[in-house]
Structures are given as C-alpha cells and as structure tokens.
Amino acid sequence: MAYFVTVGTIGAITAILCLGVNISWGWAGQIDLAYYAYVAIGAYGAMVLELPKAHPTATTPSSYVLGLHWPFLPSLVGATAFGGAAALIVGAIALRRLRGDYIAIITACAALMLTSVLSQDDRLVGGYIGIYGLTQPLNSVLKLGPTGYSYFYLGLCLVALLLVYLVLERIYRSPFGRSLRAVRENDLAAAAFGRNLYSLRLRAYALGGAVGAFGGALFANYLLAWSPTAWNILEVVLLMSGVMVGGRANSRGVIIGSVIVLSIIPEVTRLFPLLTSNSTIGPSAAVIIGASGIIVMLRFRPGGILKERKVVDHSQTASLNATSPTLTVAERSNG
Amino acid sequence: MAEAQVPALLEVRGLRKHYGGVKAVDGCEFSVLRGELIGLIGPNGAGKSTVIELLSGLVKPDAGTVTFDGREIQGRPPHKIFASGLARCFQLAKEWPLLSVLENLLIAIPPDGSDTIRHAFGSPRRSRAAERAARERALSAAEQYRLYPLRNEYAYTLSGGQKRLLEFARIALAQPKLALLDEPMAGVNPVLQTQIEGGIRSLLAGGSTVILVEHNLGFVESLCDRVIVMVAGRVAAVGSMAELRENTVVQDAYLGGTSVA
C-alpha cells in the first residue's frame, strides 16, 4: 500500500508539472527547455524559505542562502513567486525578438547556465551536495505517524493538482486564454487585432514558470531534500512527452498523459526484472515502451488522447440578454 | 480647394520599403479624408498590399511618414496601431483555426485591458459586463454575416467564402476609424459579394473610413468616389474612375492600352 501512496504522490506532482509545461507549449505554442530550472527554483526556494539559517558543520556541510524558517504554506507561495519571477527574467530575453526553435535554444542555454551556477557555487543552494534536512511540512501540528503522514501528503498533492487544474481551466477560457490561443494560432492576425504578442507570451511564460515552481516546491517537501542530480534538461522532454500523449492544450488530457507516460509505464516496467533474468531491464524497457508509444500516438492520434477542447457557447439566441452566458468546453469530436 | 482645409484622416508621405533590389513601395504619397471610401488599384506587384502591411505596422517602412488621426504611426507596433483605430483585413483569410467562430469574432473586439490573468478570477463586475456585451455584439455580427449557426464550429472547418465573411465580420466588430480592406471579395461568390458590399456600406454608415484594394474595377467604380492608382511602388494617379479611364499613364500601366476594362 505504501508503494501505491508513493507512486500516487509523485504522480500527482508530476501531473502538476505537466500542466505547467502545457501553458507555454500547449497554449502559447513555445518550446520551453528551461522549464525544469523553474521546478528546481521552486524546490530550492521552498527549502531555503522553510529551513532555518544554515550552520555548516563537518557532519552537515550544506550551506545555502536565506534560511528564513518560514512555515510551509507561505514558503509554497514564496517558491511559486520565485519561479514566476525567474521565468519573467528568462522570458523577457527569450521572447522579445525570437521565435520557435530559437526560443528553445535560448531557454536551454538559460537552464544550463543555472544548473552550472547552482551546482558549482555551494554558497547558494549547497552546490553538488544540495540541500537536505527539511522536516515533514505541517507534521509538527498534525503529529501523524509515517503511514498516516504519507496518506496526508498524498491527499495534499491531489488537492493541489485539483486546484491547479481548476485555476488553469478558468484562465484557458478567459479573455486572456483566448488571446493567447489566438497568438498561437496566427500571431500576425492577433497582432493586427490589437494583441501585444510579447506581453501575452511573457505572461503565459511566467505563469508556466510559477506552476513549475509550485510543483517543485511540493516535490522538495516530499523528498525533504533537493540536489542538482534531481533535475536536468531532459526532464522537460519527459514532461512534454506526457503532454503530447495526453493532448496538448487539454488539461484533462495532460493529466491522463502524465499518469500513463510518467507513472504507469515506469512503474509497470519496474516489474520486468521479475519476469526475466535481466535485472537492469526495467528502465530500458520504460524508455523503449514510452518512445514507441509516442511514435504510435503521433502516427494515429497526433492530437493526443484527448484533443484540445472547444469553448462552446450554449445560449439559444443572439438577441438581448435573456439568456445568461454559459461558456463551457466540449471535446473536439474528430479530425 | 475647399477640401484641402479639412485635415485628412490619413496622410502618407514618402513611404518607402525595399526588399533587397525590389522597390516594393518607393516614395508613395496620398491622403485619405474622413468618411471617405477610397479605392486602391494597380497591377500585380504595384505595392498595394505592401502599403497595407506598412500602414498596419506588420512591416516597418524604410522611410516616410504616416500620419493617422493627427499622430505619426510609422514604425509603431501593430497592436498600438490597432488601438489607435486602424484595422485591416488580410488578402488571404487569416482566421484562428482552433478557435471557435464566436471566439474569432470576440478577439476582434478590443479587449480594453480585460484580457489579463487577474481578470480570469473574481473579475470586477464592470469587466464581466464588458465581456457579456462583447459576446452579444459578436453573436449579432455572426447573425448578420450568416455565421450564427456555425458559431460553435472551429474556424478551420469553414469554407473559403465563409472565412472571407468571418474576416470581414472581424473588421466590422473592431469598429475602426480606418479600415484597410485587402481584396475582401477575392474568390467570393456573387451572393456573398453582395453581402460584403453591404458590409462595407454599413462600415461607412457607422462612421468608418475605408481603403479598398480591389481588382474588380466594376466594384471599385460602383463603390468608390476616389481611386488611387499605384504603379511600381508609387501613386500614378488619383481621381474618379471616369477620370482615370482618360488618363494615359493609367491606361498604359493598368487598363490595357486604350481598351477599357
């Protein structure tokens, strides 16, 4: 049972991370390879806000900035803000003049630079050693045992996932989401109808960074430690494959894709060594099955499991305000 | 002349855009009066569409000034030019394919700052009322341009003619001071042409000024009082269609010698 709780907790956090990637990639149409850097910023950010001041000793050599000893929830908010701010800075450079592939290149550069800086300079967030020593959030109040706490944290992550889902659905259907999708569909026409492309793209990018950092903060509070080995640029590609299989720009699809590609496939293939004499077959099989699945999806259902949904207007007449406006989202039927 | 006393809505002076050796627009000068429907004609490659691109800000001019409604707008970003009241339609319909027809129409209504992330939550009653009003306007435009039954369809599913209607309906919803229509009737059947013609007239009736790029000279003659003829990146002549038919420069360059189209 504890196994399923672990898989569920990490699965919920991963789904949040996929929803964040989906903002810049699915809604705005940009490939953001720096995304995992915002996840890391969120993770480190939450830790340096929650932990007390660093006192490096021989047994605990880790040193880090801040150390404000904030409670869990304010730290979560702070970490989310860090991620959004970092994305705002990178986005301000990457999105001003560049398009498409060049945005991917610049964001990859930003992520690699950040990895180098954070892993080399051990005064910032502990360098290669990383940061550890976080206590289970809220458990000083709850006083749960190990099993009870794991259930609690699973519930917390699921609630967080639901919250992120609801917030993003609302933004997707709002005038902001509509403008953003118009920019993705045809940016020149959107500019000709008064949309500030740079501002819309940048706001979406910062929102994505904030969601990533939120997920990262939850992750760090689950692992209670974070180090450069926990993140690299390839993680973004994995998250994107989850988004692609589930359905770009469809939040429900993204969650399904995340669960299939990043939870079910790796966990099922973990059992493979039991069937053969090869003890290392698990991770390789996960990659082979996952990659084959993506190729099959691209061939037979390029839009993903659930395609982008259409915002449908349900009012009966165009005249007067007799009907209250009810805008809902319906599944794209085919094509 | 008396009309010289009235300040023009649009004043184009020395406008130039070269692509390498190609002088797409080369010292183009003209002015458009408030409330006027002016035709812009010329042979293919004369620079008509480039002028539209330059005026709407999607392409930056190499030189020249564009004074619109008393302010110089050359080189400003397109969204600011749109906000100042100048809207254009595209020669090839540029709908937003994966947005519904209604959403396509809603985008054309200036958002007035309501398209922010903050406004998605607990938006002030004022902005919710604005969104509702925008929706009503978009739906009645859909009705007017025979798109109402299609309002919940993806824009990419529309036929070519329907896309032209959508393109035009967007301009009508934007209620611009100046509408630049780049061949709005190209490839449209006669019934829809009549519809778009009616749309152009109601744009004028609503107080808009219109520049119409059009190859069908019959339409130009029936709709426009004044016509600008562009040849090789410059204005070759300005006048009524009847005057232009007598103009030898125009005849040689566009109308095909002495035989009138």
ipTM of the shown complex: 0.89
| pLDDT tens track for B235-244 | 989 999 888 8
pLDDT the model gives residue A172 = 92
Please determine, for residue B168, whether its predicted confidence score (pLDDT) is greater than 80.
Answer: yes
pLDDT tens column, B36-58: 999 999 888 899 999 999 999 99
Instruction: Report the gap between the CA of B213 and the closest CA in chain A (Å).
Output: 17
* Partner B contacted by A171 (CB < 8 A): yes
* Nearest by CB: B114 against A175, A188, A193: A175
Compute how many other C-beta atoms are within 10 angstroms of the C-beta atom of residue A155: 14
Q: A154 to chain B nearest CA, in Å?
A: 27
* A175: nearest CB among B90, B104, B131: B131
Q: What is the pLDDT averaged over residues B63-78?
A: 94
pLDDT reading at B225 higher than 70: yes
pLDDT the model gives residue A201: 94
The 8-class DSSP code of residue B67 comes to E
What are the sequence ranges of the domains in chain A?
2-231
A311 Cα to chain B: minimum distance (Å): 7
Q: What is the pLDDT of residue A321?
A: 41
Q: Residue A179 is nearest to which of B90, B97, B107, comparing CB atoms? A: B107
Note whether A175 contacts B115, CB cutoff 8 Å. yes
Q: Decide if A193 touches B, using CB distance below 8 A.
A: yes
B176 and chain A in contact, CB less than 8 A: no
Contacts of A193 in chain B (CB under 8 A): 82, 87, 107-108, 170, 174
Q: Report residue A323 as tokens.
A: 């009907």
Average pLDDT, chain B: 88
Q: What is the pLDDT along chain A (335 residues), one digit of tens a residue?
A: 789 999 999 999 999 999 999 999 999 988 999 999 999 999 999 999 998 887 776 666 678 888 888 999 999 999 999 999 999 999 999 998 888 889 999 999 999 999 889 888 888 888 888 888 888 888 888 888 888 999 999 999 999 999 999 999 999 988 999 999 999 999 999 999 999 999 999 999 999 999 999 999 999 999 998 888 877 778 888 899 999 999 888 999 999 999 998 899 888 888 888 887 777 777 788 888 888 888 888 888 888 888 888 888 876 544 444 344 445 555 554 43
Confidence of residue B25 (pLDDT cuts 50, 70, 90): very high
Whether B212 has a pLDDT exceeding 70, the answer reads yes
- Among chain B residues, CA nearest to A197: B79
User: Rounded to an integer, what distance in angstroms lies between the CA atom of residue B68 and that of residue B194?
Assistant: 30
Instruction: In whole angstroms, give the CA distance from residue B50 to residue B30.
Output: 15
- Which among A32, A43, A49 is positioned nearest to A102, based on CA atoms? A32
> Could you say which DSSP state residue B2 is in?
G
| Nearest-by-CA chain A residue for B142 | A318
CB atoms A313 and B151 under 8 Å = yes
Cβ contact, residue pair A181, B96, below 8 Å: yes
Contact A193 B151 (CB under 8 A): no
Q: How far off is chain B from A214, nearest CA to CA, in Å? A: 17
What's the whole-model pTM score? 0.89
Report the C-alpha gap between A75 and A51 in whole angstroms: 10
CA dist., res. B215 & res. B237, Å (int): 16
- Give the nearest partner residue to A194 out of B104, B110, B119, using CB atoms: B110
Terminal CA-CA length for chain A: 41
Percent of chain B with pLDDT over 90: 61
Chain A residue with the nearest C-alpha to that of B138? A318
